[in-house]
Structure formats: C-alpha cells, structure tokens
C-alpha cells in the first residue's frame, strides 16, 4: 500500500501536516503537500484532507512464482546426533501434526545420516506418515554445503507445501541457504505456527519489536512456505505406539554433493550439557560483577546437575561464551528449574526462559522484573545466598 498526494487537487492548506503524528508531510517547492519516508501509513491525512487530495494506492496482487497447487505435504527436518534423533525433531513433528489437522496434508520427516531406518521408526511411532532418508555415514556430522544440496534437491523433486526446521545451530545455518536457492521466503525463529482456516496459508508467528508485538507472517506467492521454530517453543509429538510408515530412500551418491569444508578434528566446548536439553539451568547476569564469579554459578549448577546459562549483559561483557546466552537473541529454554542469579529480567531475557516449569530468582532489588515471572523469589545478595546454597548441598552430599 502507498499513500500519494494528488498535486492537482492539493491546495496547500497544511491540515494534513497538522494531523500527521509522524511528521511525514511537508510542503514541496510549489506549496503542495508531499509525503516523506517517515510515513507509517496511518491514513489520518487521507481522512482529514478537505480536498480529498490524498489517496491510497493498493499494490496489485502479485502473481505466484510457482504453481502452488502442485506443492503438497508438511515436511520437517529431523535433526540427529550420533544416530539418535534430537528432541527438536519431535517438537517439529508435534507442530506439523497440529498443522495437518487443518491442512489435511501428510506429515513427512527428512533425515540425513546413518541408522536412518531406526530413526524413521521413531517418527512413525509418533504419527509421522512418511520419512525421506538420505543415508551415509558422512552425513552423521553436519556439513553445511552438503545438507543444503540434499535438502534443495529433495524439495525440487517432491515439492512440499511447508518445510520446517528447528532454529538450532544446524537449522539456522543451512535452511536459509536452502530457501534462497529455491527462491522462497523463510521466517526465522518462530514461536508458533498455525494454518489460516480460510486461505490455508501457513501463519508464521514470531516476536518482533523487542518482543513487544507478535507478528503473523505469511508467504502467499512462493513455495514451499518455510520457517524455523525456536527449540522448546512447541510441544513434542507424543509416542503413540508401534506404527508403520513409508520410508523413501534417496541414493546419496546421486546428488553429487560436495563440501568446501573438511572436518579435521572435534573439540569439546566448555558446556557438557546442552542448554536446550537441560532440565535444570543456573544462569548468571550482570549482578555477578566479575567473570570469576561465574565459578560460583558453575559450582551450583554442577551440584544440582544443571547447565550454565547467562544473560546477554554477561555474554557481552565477555564473562562467558555466547552459546550460554538465554533470551531473544540467545537460546530459548524450558527446563524444569531455572535459577536466575543477578539477572534483572529484561523482556528480551524473559523471551527465552519465561516458560520454564519453575523459576527461582535471586536478586537484591525487590522490584526487579524477574520476580514477576518467578515462582520463588529470593530477595538477597547472590554473594551471600549462593555460597550458602553450595555449602548446604555439599554437606548433604
């Protein structure tokens, strides 16, 4: 949509300038109104112009780039680690099944790796109908170029209507490249998905403007409709028993996939527990005041079998690495217990942890926003509370 001034009708009365809340209208050198880039399309000027000189132009509907009726099926990329499906794969299956209730299209997994038949069976046992498999030992390790090539070719061949991946390191790395090659849109980091009952379009729902608004994004004219979903944002598909399904195997060698990167060696990073899989997380924030005080957080986490998380303030200060960051621009977590230590509870941090089952907050400021989401709030100094907790846990051991 666009708003334009009909210069023939405009008398330069300036009423539009007075009513515009964004300061988006000025007079041109001929004394006629002109609209600048500050326009938010609020249409107040259109309503108030006494000469009806300000007009709305709707964009013509674009013609679809693909014959969208040929695209059928809801696909999700099932991530695996060491031959076992990750939890995120079951989450994607869960949301795909929910979409299928309205869309009435089949739900299909895509797996790359070895041991695929066993993994496909796991998906069938949770109601997937079909699994596309590319089997090769070399695919057990994520290799971006190769995954991009395989997924792109599969999509071109089978034309799914919807393709989903998890917003994990793997999904975030390769799925945007696939979307670019297929020339379709992709909404990253969705927190929910739905099908519009009338248009049958995929509604891709995600926070925007710092988490203050939820946007519903649609992809009208291109196929497939693609999205990544934040881990832990949706429910896992439930195990329903031994079921059968169709496995479609594609020969890896037929893809001629090459990779510009060789895996030379693997190195274990500091975190041994995956933050998004952890049942307990102890997170530290700026209240720790110094990187060495993260030792206290690590100790507490270790004693209760938890993983270490952090606020962005702690990560930006260089006290801990980015993979530990929880929040809007970090990881979304949903542990059974989340302990926030010296974290204020900014909206961007809450976006990543507020759905945790039980939240414990330790903060010396009784008005800290974190207490609004906490199930148990401890108003106190972390340097007093945490050592006492550690002492108590150690004495119990």
Q: What is the dihedral of CA 189, 192, 193, 196, to 10 degrees?
A: -130
Q: Which is nearer to ligand FAD, 162 or 233 (CB)?
A: 233
| Sole residue written with tokens 């038949």 | 117
CB of 279 to ligand FAD, least distance (A): 21
| Sole residue written with tokens 């248009």 | 199
CB of 253 to ligand FAD, least distance (A): 42
Integer angstrom CA distances of residue 32 from 5, 6, 19, 27, 284: 8, 9, 16, 5, 58
Q: Which stretch binds ligand FAD (CB under 6 A): 44-52, 155-163, 256-264, 311-319?
A: 311-319
CB of 189 to ligand FAD, least distance (A): 11
| Sole residue written with tokens 């329903």 | 240
Identify the CA nearest to 360 among candidates 346, 347, 373. Answer: 373
Q: Which stretch binds ligand FAD (CB under 6 A): 52-60, 66-74, 80-88, 322-330?
A: 322-330
Taking CB under 6 A as the criterion, which residues in 323-362 touch ligand FAD? Answer: 325-330, 342-344, 346, 348-349, 352, 362
CA pair distance 93, 75, nearest whole angstrom: 9
Rule CB under 6 A: is residue 312 a binding residue for ligand FAD?
yes
DSSP string, 177-197: HHHHHHT--EEEEESEEEE-T
Please identify which residue in 73, 207, 231, 287 interacts with ligand FAD, judged by CB under 6 A: 287
Q: In the complex, which residue's CB is closest to ligand FAD?
A: 327
Taking CB under 6 A as the criterion, which residues in 360-379 touch ligand FAD? Answer: 362-365, 368
CB of 109 to ligand FAD, least distance (A): 30
Q: How many residues belong to the chain? A: 397
Identify the CA nearest to 168 among candidates 79, 59, 301, 284. Answer: 79
Please identify which residue in 313, 333, 339, 361 interacts with ligand FAD, judged by CB under 6 A: 313
Q: How far does the chain reach from its first CA to its final CA, in angstroms? A: 66
Q: Which stretch binds ligand FAD (CB under 6 A): 102-110, 132-140, 272-280, 285-293?
A: 285-293
Q: List interacting residues with ligand FAD (CB under 6 A).
A: 210, 285-287, 311-314, 325-330, 342-344, 346, 348-349, 352, 362-365, 368, 381-383
């Amino acid at each position: 949509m666009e708003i334009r001034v009909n210069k023939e009708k405009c008398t330069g009365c300036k009423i539009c300038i007075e009513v515009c809340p964004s300061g988006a209208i000025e007079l041109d050198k001929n004394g006629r109104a002109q609209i600048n880039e500050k326009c938010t399309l609020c249409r107040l000027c259109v309503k108030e112009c006494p000469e009806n000189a300000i007009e709305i132009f709707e964009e013509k509907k674009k013609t679809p780039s693909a014959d969208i009726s040929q695209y059928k099926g809801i696909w999700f990329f099932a991530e695996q680690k060491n031959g076992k499906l990750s939890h995120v794969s079951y989450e994607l299956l869960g949301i795909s099944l929910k979409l299928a209730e309205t869309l009435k299209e089949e739900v299909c997994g895509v797996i790359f790796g070895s041991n695929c038949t066993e993994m496909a069976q796991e998906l069938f046992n949770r109601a997937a109908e079909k699994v596309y498999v590319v089997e090769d030992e070399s695919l057990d390790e994520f290799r971006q170029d190769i995954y991009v090539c395989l997924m792109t070719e599969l999509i071109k061949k089978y034309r799914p209507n919807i393709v989903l991946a998890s917003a994990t390191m793997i999904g975030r790395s390769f799925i945007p490249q696939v979307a670019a090659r297929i020339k379709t849109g992709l909404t990253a980091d969705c927190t929910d998905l739905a099908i519009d009952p009338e248009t049958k379009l995929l509604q891709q729902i995600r926070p925007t403007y710092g988490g203050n608004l939820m946007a519903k994004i649609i992809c009208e004219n291109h196929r497939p409709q693609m999205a990544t979903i934040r881990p832990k944002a949706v429910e896992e598909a439930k195990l329903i028993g031994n079921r059968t399904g169709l496995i479609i195997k594609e020969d890896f060698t037929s893809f001629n996939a090459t990779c510009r990167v060789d895996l030379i060696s693997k190195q274990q990073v500091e975190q041994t527990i995956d933050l998004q899989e952890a049942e307990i997380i102890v997170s530290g924030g700026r209240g720790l005041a110094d990187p060495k005080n993260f030792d206290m957080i690590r100790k507490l986490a270790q004693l209760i079998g938890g993983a270490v998380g952090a606020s962005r303030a702690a990560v930006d200060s260089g006290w801990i690495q980015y993979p530990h960051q929880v929040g809007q621009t970090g990881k979304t977590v949903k542990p059974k217990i989340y302990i926030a230590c010296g974290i204020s509870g900014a909206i961007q941090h809450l976006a990543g942890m507020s759905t945790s089952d039980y939240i414990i907050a330790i903060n010396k400021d009784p008005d800290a926003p974190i207490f609004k989401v906490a199930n148990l709030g401890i108003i106190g100094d972390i340097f007093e509370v945490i050592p006492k907790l550690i002492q108590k846990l150690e004495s119990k051991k």
